[in-house]
Chains A and B, each alone.
Chain A
Amino acid sequence: MSVASPQRARPGRGRLHFNRTLPFWLLLPGLLIIAAIQLYPALFTVYLSFQRIEPGTGRYIFRGLENFQRLFSTRQFIESIGHTAIFLVGYCVLAMTFAVLIAMLLRQRVKVTAFAITVIFVPWVLSDVIVGVVWRLFVVPQYGLFSPFFANPSLFPPRGISVLTTPPPPTLIPGIYFPPAPALIFLIFASAWKVLPFITLLILAALQTVPNEVLESAAMDGATAGQSFRFITLPLILPVLTVALFNLILGGINGVGMVFSLTGGGPGTATEVLSYLLYSIGFARLDFGLAAALSVVMTVINLTLVLLTLRLSQPQEER
């Protein structure tokens, strides 16, 4: 024992050492990539938001909160917040309502349930860009399948509308961008159609956890379907509804592919939501400082929502 040669001991100890540090080596690649691709750009964006780029030399000059001041005084920013708010309200209400209805239908197990679950989920695997094109093709001027419907003057007075080109009606209250352009409403429907499967599945999973015995005994005690939904099902699925709502808001704020392919931000700036504004400031107008400030604002909104979701869903950590 005591005379074991160092040459023979070393490989053994080396392996022992490797086994003990194994967790570190397993974690390293993931942490490195996340640090490089998520952490560093986030910090760099914050740094950039305090700088102004000198036009000639491309040098960064520290300008404090100037970018934020510029952002909040830009009319475009205020307008796109208005668009985003209208979009989010419509999108969440539509998606939540239909998701609850469809999930309630799917919970009743009938012969077509398995088939329906599969079919209903097809839109979810389609890309934003494709969904945008698919819905755009419905309303392209003149030749779209729904174009005659929207162009009908008796349905849409006074002259009928063309979804992609009709500008928003005059605002009721100055400074509040309401009512929205037809294109924004159409965008809401297209986005809700795409996200519906995901929200439906979330709610369906929650509905499955509502015990049948409770519903049955409530029915035996004379509760109507509406009452048992209101007083048994709804309270039980409320946490999941909240998670679903935050998922919707997050996706709604950040989805941009559909705006690109469906309306391109237009007509005019009628469908410029925050995410599209970020593109048009940062990549079309190349105003990096301003775009970085907008990124920071959006990241703060996102982080708040994520942390709220985490707090509300309370993932069970240890087992």
Chain B
Amino acid sequence: MAQATVLTAMSSSAYRPQKRLRPWLISGALLLVCALMLFPVFSTVLLSFKQQSDVRRTPPVFLPCDDEAGNFNLAACRFVLEGYGRVILLQPNPSAPLGFQITGRIFTTYLPNTILYAFASATFVTLIAAMSAYVYSRYRFRLRRLIMVGLLTLAGVPILTMLLAMAQMGNAIRRAFPGYEERLYMIVVYIGFELPIAIWIIKGFFDTIPRELEEAAKIDGCSPVGALWRVVMPLALPGLLSIFLLTFVGVWNEFIANYLLMSRQDLRGAMYGVYDFIAQSLSSYNALAAACVLVMIPVVVIFLFTRNAFFHAMLEGAVKG
């Protein structure tokens, strides 16, 4: 209910309560808040397009738009792709399709890893959590209450305190099966950590789907699995999608587990790439900013297009714990 009201606030046809303050005053204040909240992002994007000589100026310049005389002049704005060039590192390569090859490690190693981790974890979390949540929502059995509260408690315990034991586990597996694909371990770890809260959130979605629909399907000869797959799943699809997105973004942004559990650099993801770049880029801050922009663009775009799904899942999860 709570999230529904937030969402109506976003639609234009929202019910308007009494106005005690003048609307333009509130609008002005809100726009100011927006500007302040976006300023760090905006400034980073701007920095990523500066040229090295503007990056290393004292005092620093916010907009690289002053001419020789030091006056602000829009025509003198200097925006370059130098920073991006240092991240992407195009090298001529006659055998590559366009004659150039991307050699920046963020693109050759870290981003592909992150995409793999995020997609695989989000898919399996959604699937497995939906299966479990269906049972918790529809069946009553012994220990159910205990398991549910246990899941909620686990969801609150962060990944950090378990990393030590999991690193040991990883070492043991590596020793037992030399040459196994270590990325599998990373994916399973992410699934395990995102599952409890996902189960709770999806259960909340399932609870809102009337049971009568499945019963009708069963009376018409549908098997329980069929009822789950053909009736409940399609109805829960928006909720499942929001869990998928939430997990995707969560894994995309995860750093510490990935950094500490994966023994080799080429198994690590984009957040490690950015972290590594801090030391690498020395004072080419435009390149560091460009790396940040490139890595954050996908999640920001996903968020902007699917924000309602995020708000839904977030509120559902937050109120639970």
* A interacts with B: yes
Cβ of B74 under 8 Å from chain A: no
Considering the complex, which residues of chain A in the window 109-131 have a beta carbon less than 8 Å from any beta carbon of chain B?
A: 109-123, 125-131
Contacts of B11 in A (CB 8 A): 114
Nearest CB of chain B from residue A48's CB, rounded to whole Å: 7
Identify the interface centre among B151, B160, B288, B289: most chain A CB within 10 Å of its CB. B160
Quick one: closest A residue to B253, CB to CB?
A127
Chain B binding surface SS class: helix
A147 near B162 with CB under 8 A, answer no
From A84-92, A153-161, A287-295, the one touching the partner chain is A287-295
Nearest CB of chain A from residue B262's CB, rounded to whole Å: 12
A198 near B314 with CB under 8 A, answer yes
Cβ of B65 under 8 Å from chain A: no
Contacts of B162 in A (CB 8 A): 38, 41-42, 45, 295
Considering the complex, which residues of chain B in the window 167-194 have a beta carbon less than 8 Å from any beta carbon of chain A?
A: 167-169, 188-189, 191-193
A23 near B192 with CB under 8 A, answer no
Quick one: closest A residue to B285, CB to CB?
A137
Nearest CB of chain B from residue A5's CB, rounded to whole Å: 23
Cβ of B274 under 8 Å from chain A: yes
Known contacts A45-B164, A205-B5: does B224 contact A19 (CB below 8 Å)?
yes
Contacts of A243 in B (CB 8 A): 318-319
- How far is B298's CA from A130's CA once the two chains are assembled, in angstroms? 13
Contacts of A69 in B (CB 8 A): none
Cβ of B14 under 8 Å from chain A: yes
Say which residue of A193, A201, A305 sits within 8 Å of B40 (CB atoms): A193
A219 near B2 with CB under 8 A, answer no
Say which residue of A126, A148, A310 sits within 8 Å of B60 (CB atoms): A148
- How far is B55's CA from A30's CA once the two chains are assembled, in angstroms? 50
Cβ of B71 under 8 Å from chain A: no
B253 near A128 with CB under 8 A, answer yes
- Chain A, residues 279-304, CB within 8 Å of chain B (1/0): the string is 10011000010011001101100110
- How far is B33's CA from A110's CA once the two chains are assembled, in angstroms? 14
- Chain B, residues 290-316, CB within 8 Å of chain A (1/0): the string is 001001100110111001001100110
Known contacts A130-B296, A202-B315, A315-B319: does B278 contact A261 (CB below 8 Å)?
yes
Contacts of A234 in B (CB 8 A): none
Known contacts A143-B57, A315-B320: does B164 contact A306 (CB below 8 Å)?
no
Considering the complex, which residues of chain B in the window 1-60 have a beta carbon less than 8 Å from any beta carbon of chain A?
A: 1-3, 5-6, 9-12, 14, 16-21, 23, 26-27, 29-31, 33-34, 37-38, 40-41, 43-44, 47, 55-60
Considering the complex, which residues of chain B in the window 259-297 have a beta carbon less than 8 Å from any beta carbon of chain A?
A: 260, 271, 274-275, 278, 283, 285, 288-289, 292, 295-296
A306 near B321 with CB under 8 A, answer yes
Cβ of A27 under 8 Å from chain B: yes
- Chain B, residues 202-228, CB within 8 Å of chain A (1/0): the string is 000001000000000000000111000
Cβ of B240 under 8 Å from chain A: no
A116 near B34 with CB under 8 A, answer yes
Quick one: closest A residue to B320, CB to CB?
A315
Contacts of B224 in A (CB 8 A): 19, 22
B299 near A126 with CB under 8 A, answer yes
Say which residue of A39, A120, A278, A292 sits within 8 Å of B160 (CB atoms): A278
Cβ of B243 under 8 Å from chain A: no
B34 near A119 with CB under 8 A, answer yes
A23 near B135 with CB under 8 A, answer yes
Q: A202-B315, A275-B160 are in contact. List 10 more A-B contacts (CB 8 A).
A: A26-B134, A44-B169, A111-B27, A125-B253, A125-B299, A125-B303, A126-B253, A133-B292, A261-B275, A295-B164
14 contacts between A and B (CB under 8 A): A42-B157, A48-B164, A110-B23, A121-B310, A122-B304, A125-B299, A125-B300, A127-B271, A205-B5, A205-B6, A212-B17, A257-B271, A282-B164, A302-B158
What 5 A-B pairs are tightest by C-beta distance, nearest first?
A37-B192, A306-B156, A127-B253, A41-B165, A208-B5
